[in-house]
Amino acid sequence: MTHSTHPSYPLDRDELFRIRQMKLLTSDRDYLFFALQIDYPGKLNPTIEVDSFCNRWELGDGDFYKALGELRKKGIVISIANRLDLQFQSS
């Protein structure tokens, strides 16, 4: 097994909370993007239970949908529904 010689920075739930509490990340759009990446790494079409996701990430429903709309405008999220089935654009 080969090991990468490149340093890495692990971004997990606790670290994302810490970054947000330090006000280094103030955009709900960006926060939601990273939260989705942490909860659904590499998954192109995750199904999300909105209430439990918002509770887990301490994000209000209104803030969630607003941020999701912003991600949609950027072309990162394709579809939005009550029980979310998201499609992430691959770049």
CA nearest 61: which of 73, 72, 49? 49
Chain CA centroid to CA 47, Å = 13
Q: Has residue 2 been placed in a domain? A: no
Q: Has residue 60 been placed in a domain? A: yes
Q: Has residue 4 been placed in a domain? A: no
CA distance 28 to 66: 8
CA distance 12 to 28: 17
Q: Has residue 91 been placed in a domain? A: no
For residue 53, the enclosing domain spans: 13-85
Q: Has residue 5 been placed in a domain? A: no
Number of domains in the chain: 1
> What is the chain's pLDDT, residue by residue, as a tens digit (91 residues)?
556 678 888 899 999 999 999 999 999 999 999 999 999 887 777 888 888 999 999 999 999 999 999 998 988 887 655 445 565 555 5
Q: Has residue 26 been placed in a domain? A: yes
